[in-house]
Amino acid sequence: MELIEIAQLVTGIATLVVASVLIWQMIIQKKTLDIAHNDADSNMSLQAMESRSEQIRWFAENSTPELLEKLKKGYEYLNDKEKEIASSHHQNISQVLATEWRLGRLGKNPEYLRFTMGHHMKMNEYKGMRDIWKLTTASVKGTGLVEKQYIEVGDQVCEQAESK
C-alpha cells in the first residue's frame, strides 16, 4: 500500500468515526428535548388546573343563590353585577381552555374540551352560561381568531345541553 492509499483509508475511518459521534449526539439531544417537552407539558397542565381551580373557587365565592337561579333561566335575567360575575367566570375559564387547545394539550381532544366546557364553564347546567358562549363566539366566528373546531365543540355542548 502506498502512502496515499493509507491516508485515504485513515481519512475514511476518521469520517465514519466523526459521523458516528454526531449521530450519537443527535440521539442524546432528541432524548433531552423529549424530556424537556414532557416537563413543559406537565407544567402547562399543572398551571391550567391551578388557574381553573382558582377561577372555580372565585366563582363559588362570588355567586349567590339568586344569581344561580337566574343563570338557570338565562343571561337576560341577570342584573349588571351578576352579568359581570358570570361573564368573568366564563371568559377566564374559556381563555385557559382556548390556550390549552391552541397549544395542543391532550392532542386537541374534543372530549376533554366538551367535558371542560360543560362542567367547568357550567354550560351543561346554566342556560345563562350558554347564552354568554353564544354572545362571545358570535363576534369571532369566521375571523380566524379562534379555531373553527373549538367553536364547533362549544356549539355542540350548547345544543346537547338544550336538548335535555
Residues 6+ apart with CB under 8 A from 162: 127, 130
Q: Grid coordinates in use for 97?
A: 381552555
Mean pLDDT score across all residues of the chain: 89
Dist CA 38 CA 34 (whole Å):
6
The 10s digit of each residue's pLDDT in 108-145 is 889 988 998 998 889 999 999 999 999 999 888 888 88
The 10s digit of each residue's pLDDT in 68-97 is 999 999 999 999 999 999 999 999 999 888
Dihedral of alpha carbons 49, 159, 150, 38, sign:
positive
**What pLDDT shows up at residue 40?**
76
**What pLDDT shows up at residue 107?**
78
**What pLDDT shows up at residue 142?**
80
